[in-house]
Amino acid sequence: MKKMLKLLDPYIALMVATIVVAAVAPVYGRGATIAATTADVAIAFLFFLYGTRLSPKAAVAGLIQWKLQIAVLLCTFALFPLLGVGFSHIMAGMLPHALLVGVVVLSLMPSTVQSSIAFTSIARGNVAAALCAASLSNILGVFISPLLVGWLFQTSGVTLSFDVFRDIMLQLLAPFLVGQLVRPWIGEWIQRHKQVLGYADRGSILLIIYVAFSKGTVENVWGGVSISHLLILMGILTLLLAIVLILTDFIGRRPLSLSVEDRIVLQFCGSKKSLASGLPIASLLFPGPQLSLVLLPLMLFHQIQLIVCAVLARRYGAKADQQGTPDAVTRQPGAPATQ
């Protein structure tokens, strides 16, 4: 029991508390307008911070291992979406449509940065390559994810109109690019104050969740969602993650013949989905009352991937320790590794 509690992300408790507050005390009327505007500012702030944190040099350095980096991108933006779309069709009729949309949306998001690198390190994988892969995924994801969502859901009312493009430019791309431009001057300051900024980062996400779930409560979109729906959704997300983990491991072993350290990178970076990037992107593309249902799969998947990948990373690390495998943390891209 204690081990399970250690695997649970405390931030999940804050998200659950935020949802409860939104259900009990939703914001509406003029308050909803003010909250929505504040959430828009928070989204821009989030992507500005991403721009200051992500190193384009790290992403470019990773191109030395182009085979691994392309494999991670294809798993993130091709394999995962194919599985997400497939699951949504198979489960049609078993879950509310908005939840199925959410499953597809989460499959279109970029990889995480922090947890991908952390789990790769615990598993004794190639941390330098993981940093490159996660950074490249997030940089490209700012452009690719909204386009994929718009393309797949153009028949469902999600259109990349001028207004949507304007919002993407103003709230996602422009702040991100500004962050990249000023990174040489404020990057060190950002690193020194990353703990305080991390609170602001997470607080912004909680605000986005509160606004989305408040809107859903006011419009009573949760009336058609039952406990059985949530249990089915949890099962789908767990199975989806398991399939991706198995496939990424297989791809790394057979077609690509990657080293053990690089297979770990492909498995962890190729199977993760970013909550921090996904919530703002979905908020822009699904502004209606159904947004809270669309966001729910991504929020649940966030916790599932943390628990499963933490267990997997520890097993990899223990196996490496038993075999006396040297720590791959300091190995640079392109350097030889254990096969």
Distance CA 161, CA 47 (A): 21
Residue 158 lies in a domain: yes
Distance CA 239, CA 300 (A): 13
Apex CA 184: angle with CA 181 and CA 185, to 5°? 100
How does 238-256 read in b/e, with b if 16+ C-beta sit within 10 Å?
bebbebbbebbbebbeeeb
Query: For residue 51, what pLDDT is reported?
Result: 84
Report helix, strand and coil shares of the chain as percent, to nearest 5: 80, 0, 20
Residue 339 lies in a domain: no
29, containing H or E segment: none
Residue 5 lies in a domain: no
Token pair listed for 307: 């628990």
Query: For residue 270, what pLDDT is reported?
Result: 95
Query: For residue 18, what pLDDT is reported?
Result: 92
> CB count, 10 Å around CB of 308?
16
Distance CA 63, CA 176 (A): 22
Could you tell me the CA-to-CA distances from 96 to 4, 80, 139, 187, 225 in Å, in that order?
30, 21, 32, 44, 7
Tell me the average confidence (pLDDT) per consecutive run of 10 residues in the chain, 339 residues long.
Answer: 57 86 89 89 86 76 83 96 94 91 94 88 89 88 88 66 73 87 88 81 87 87 87 96 97 92 95 89 83 92 90 90 62 42
Helices marked H in 109-259? 114-122, 127-152, 162-168, 174-192, 194-218, 227-253
Query: For residue 291, what pLDDT is reported?
Result: 87
Helices marked H in 54-113? 56-61, 66-74, 80-90, 97-107
Token pair listed for 74: 């294809």
CA 66, distance to chain mean position in Å, is 22
Distance CA 161, CA 142 (A): 17
Residues of the domain holding 298: 10-323
Distance CA 40, CA 110 (A): 20
Is residue 46 classed as helix, strand or coil in its secondary structure? helix
Instruction: Provide the domain count of the chain.
Output: 1
CA 55, distance to chain mean position in Å, is 18
Residue 2 lies in a domain: no
- Global model pTM greater than 0.85: no
Query: For residue 107, what pLDDT is reported?
Result: 96
Residue 188 lies in a domain: yes
Token pair listed for 257: 């013949």
Q: Specify the CATH number for the domain of residue 317.
A: 1.20.1530.20
Tracing tokens 């199925």 back to the chain, one arrives at 100
**Spatial contact of 111 and 134, defined as CB atoms under 8 Å apart:** yes
> CB count, 10 Å around CB of 139?
20
**Spatial contact of 337 and 331, defined as CB atoms under 8 Å apart:** yes
Is residue 59 classed as helix, strand or coil in its secondary structure? helix
Residue 319 lies in a domain: yes
> CB count, 10 Å around CB of 313?
22
Residue 98 lies in a domain: yes
